[in-house]
Structure 1
Amino acid sequence: MPKRKNSSIKEYKLKSGAKRYYFKISLGINSYGKRIVTTRRGFKSYAEAEEAFNQLSTKKADDFVKQKQITVDELFTLYFKTYKANTKEVSALSQNSQYKNHIKPFFGGRYIDQITTLEIQQWANKLAHEIVEARRNISFLENMYEYARKNNMIESNPVSKIIKPKYKKPSSFHNGENVYTEKELTDFLNTAKEVSPIIFTYFKLLASTGLRKSEALALKWEDIDLDKKTINVNKTISYGPNYKIITHAPKTKASIRTIPFSDTLKNVLIKYRDNYSTSSKIVFANRRGAYFDTARPGLWLKRVYKKNTDLPHITPHGFRHTFATLLIENTNIKPKTVQMLLGHATISMTLNLYTHINENNFADANQAFKNIGF
């Protein structure tokens, strides 16, 4: 056996009798005049301990990061203060819930420097196949670790080293797409009309205007001009403190807009107002005359799908997508006009819709090329 040259590495025994190795090393004096000395133990072999010793010996005192100084839960508490101060309250509440459901159960009590890249990769792979919002949670954990790195709690960010997995596409969507054809939309609305006037009117509104679900829930009758056939979109609803429903301005200036609507929708709104609406100023009010919460449209959808099990499933946001898709497919409308109607902040968001439609019409394009000899 070759002679072990590093006298700083010592051998000791566990209660079980198993051999382990440890060492103590001085990294010098840091900028604050403090001598940095650290002890590492638990190595199963001399070679393993020597490798760790050699790596540490190259570090400067100012670069030293103490092991096991903070858990993921503790890091979240620190980072969340900064995150909350720089985002909307509803986003902060949502992210807090996401952390508790999808990050904390896996890593909450673990020390941040003891979690390996492989463990994070396995967690990310699992999450990407289970939930649609996996990307959001993986990015949040990466930002937490980056905060820790910049504050000298860890040497590097292990989340940035993983291979970002392909993310889950909701399998319940019709043909994998969150959108209806014109016939499917007609079938859905016919069923919704049988289920409830408020459900029918709500989804008819979404499919006829492209409103976001929370924009529609926030509407008051004063926002709708039935004579001019316009809707003034100036607010949205979300959860506030203690999960109380609040209204506030939309996320972007582009979301504040006035949009037109058809005679068909006008007649639907008048019938709903005169025959079914409550005395509340809110268009879609609950029995107390207050706003519905943002989960309500999803529950309404379930009632319609229970009534007609043959209907393909889409989300409330799918009706906004359906509106844009049918508009682009059946008219010569310009992208800028679609941007205005949907309240997109940038034209690139709108052009992505056009790209989607063009991909769906790939076969038509091929046939057109054949017809003109290209």
Structure 2
Amino acid sequence: MANFKRLKSGWRYRLKYTDPFTQQQKEKSERGFRTKPEAELAAAEFLKRIKQGYEQIDKPLVDYIESWIINYKKGDVRKNTLKQHMNNLKTHIKPYFKQLMIKDLKPDMYQKFLDACLEKGLSRRTVEIINSTVYSALELAVIQGKLERNPCIGSIIKGERKQKTIDFIDSEDIPRFLYTARGYGYIYWIFFKVLLETGMRKGEAAALKWSDINFKEKKIHINETLDFQPDNEDELFGETKTFKSKRTISVSTSLINDLKYHASWQNQNKINLGETMYRHDLNLVLCRNDGRPMPKSTLFNAFKRILKRASLDGVLRIHSLRHTYAVLMLEAGADIKFVQEQLGHGSVQITSDVYAHISKKLEKRNIDRYEEYTSKILGSNNFKSGDVWGTPQKN
């Protein structure tokens, strides 16, 4: 039974109810209504939601987010994503909210939290990731009927949005990069050449097995990614980044020939090391001399040194080779849909958005091709010298 009282701030209702989930007696009050009928309507709506399964939870916000990560994210997202959620909780969310109850988190309070994150020097992107952790956890609470409304809705991240840039190696510099890589070390040359000619992520390339290559049809099946820092060897190979990342791509005859040579080179290496010294069970294509996976730090250092020796931009990341592949495909006139499928992007929009302005060559190439095509249809060479527009033709 609800009771109502008129205050200076307006009408207030207060009622007691039994939580349908915990069967505990609880109290609910709300104030600020202009009239008593408005307060009565709000009280009735609240009791109706309780009957429909709305459960108010009296639990610290940080405890709820932690249980969300463990019960709903573990096993559903990649290990790195799981670590990111946990790091957001322990490093940023918990120190700020401490033991604040989830029901006491208000929109204004949450906005101040986001502002505080920016004020202590975190980038806009980092704050966006922190926000996604809190928002997603509380959105589930709303779906489950544990919260009436997500207090994160309506919040804004005020930091300056950085212009998205795409790093890649210019096509004129690729021969110099590969020549330098070959001089640095054969296994690095073949690894980086595969990335350049396929657009694979480094984890996808590092997980590539010989059984994934169809030499006859010149296709490569990408269905796994390597975890460069596994907790144990059973977790060495995992799912690709997204569902679309699991794909079959077409490759050039040149790369197929390189891979055939690499297979012969690797087989000779197996003979030299002996049966017991080589990891035959992994069946990796791009690996150490003994068949073990390539360490991430080794690839990183090799790439950086090769760039320096080749007098190229030293701040480029290995991922820039994926971007470079996309640039080469587009410069060669490949259809954007084909590039999307090769890269494993979720949609054509992602591909076109990311690579829309990456090379002035594309702009020049497109206008050159347009002029070449339209000159045959619209060009002045279709008319004889002396022809005048609109001059009647004599019979």
Contact 1:221 1:282 in 2 (8 A): yes
Q: Distance in 2 between matches of 1:140 and 1:277?
A: 47
Shift of 1:216: 0.9
Structure 2 gaps, min length 5: 1-5, 271-277, 380-395
Whose Rg is larger? 2
Aligned to 1:16: none
- Could you tell me which amino acid in structure 1 is paired with residue 306 of structure 2? V
3-state SS of paired residue (1:161): coil
> % of aligned pairs identical?
20
1:105 is the counterpart of 2:105: no
Q: Distance in 2 between matches of 1:158 and 1:359?
A: 45
Contact 2:201 2:322 in 1 (8 A): yes
- Could you tell me which amino acid in structure 1 is paired with residue 225 of structure 2? T
User: CA offsets per residue over residues 29-84 of structure 1, 9 Å max, x none?
Assistant: 45759764479xxxxxxxxxxxx8547x9563647999993233311232124433
* Higher mean C-alpha displacement, 201-210 vs 68-77: 68-77
Aligned to 1:20: none
Q: Distance in 1 between matches of 2:155 and 2:124?
A: 18
- Could you tell me which amino acid in structure 2 is paired with residue 247 of structure 1? F
Aligned to 2:325: 323
Going from structure 1 to structure 2, the CA distance change for 1:305 and 1:135 (only over 3 Å counts) comes to farther
Q: Distance in 1 between matches of 2:186 and 2:364?
A: 40
Going from structure 1 to structure 2, the CA distance change for 1:296 and 1:335 (only over 3 Å counts) comes to same
Aligned pair partner of 1:177 in 153, 166, 171: 166
Aligned to 2:300: 298
1:27 is the counterpart of 2:15: yes
Q: Distance in 1 between matches of 2:292 and 2:89?
A: 34
- After TM superposition, the runs of 4+ consecutive aligned structure 1 residues lying more than 6 A away are 63-68, 363-369
Aligned pair partner of 1:246 in 227, 236, 247: 236
Going from structure 1 to structure 2, the CA distance change for 1:102 and 1:192 (only over 3 Å counts) comes to farther
Aligned pair partner of 1:204 in 193, 218, 222: 193
3-state SS of paired residue (2:76): coil
Going from structure 1 to structure 2, the CA distance change for 1:200 and 1:81 (only over 3 Å counts) comes to same
- Could you tell me which amino acid in structure 1 is paired with residue 154 of structure 2? K
Aligned to 1:156: 149
Q: Distance in 1 between matches of 2:299 and 2:120?
A: 25
Aligned to 2:356: 355
Q: Distance in 2 between matches of 1:128 and 1:272?
A: 50
3-state SS of paired residue (1:231): strand
- Could you tell me which amino acid in structure 1 is paired with residue 86 of structure 2? K
Shift of 1:322: 0.9
1:236 is the counterpart of 2:225: yes
Shift of 1:217: 0.7
Q: Give the RMSD, CA atoms, in angstroms.
A: 4.5
Contact 1:187 1:311 in 2 (8 A): no
Going from structure 1 to structure 2, the CA distance change for 1:193 and 1:313 (only over 3 Å counts) comes to farther
Contact 1:149 1:157 in 2 (8 A): yes
Aligned pair partner of 2:132 in 127, 135, 139: 139
1:120 is the counterpart of 2:120: no
3-state SS of paired residue (1:160): coil
User: CA offsets per residue over residues 256-279 of structure 1, 9 Å max, x none?
Assistant: 314222426634762585179655
Aligned pair partner of 1:313 in 312, 315, 332: 315
Aligned to 1:47: none
Q: Distance in 2 between matches of 1:83 and 1:295?
A: 32
Shift of 1:117: 2.5
TM-score normalised by the chain length of structure 2:
0.65
Aligned to 1:286: 288
Contact 1:69 1:153 in 2 (8 A): no
Shift of 1:286: 3.5
Aligned to 2:247: 256
3-state SS of paired residue (2:153): helix
* Higher mean C-alpha displacement, 336-345 vs 214-223: 336-345
Shift of 1:214: 1.8
- Could you tell me which amino acid in structure 1 is paired with residue 174 of structure 2? L
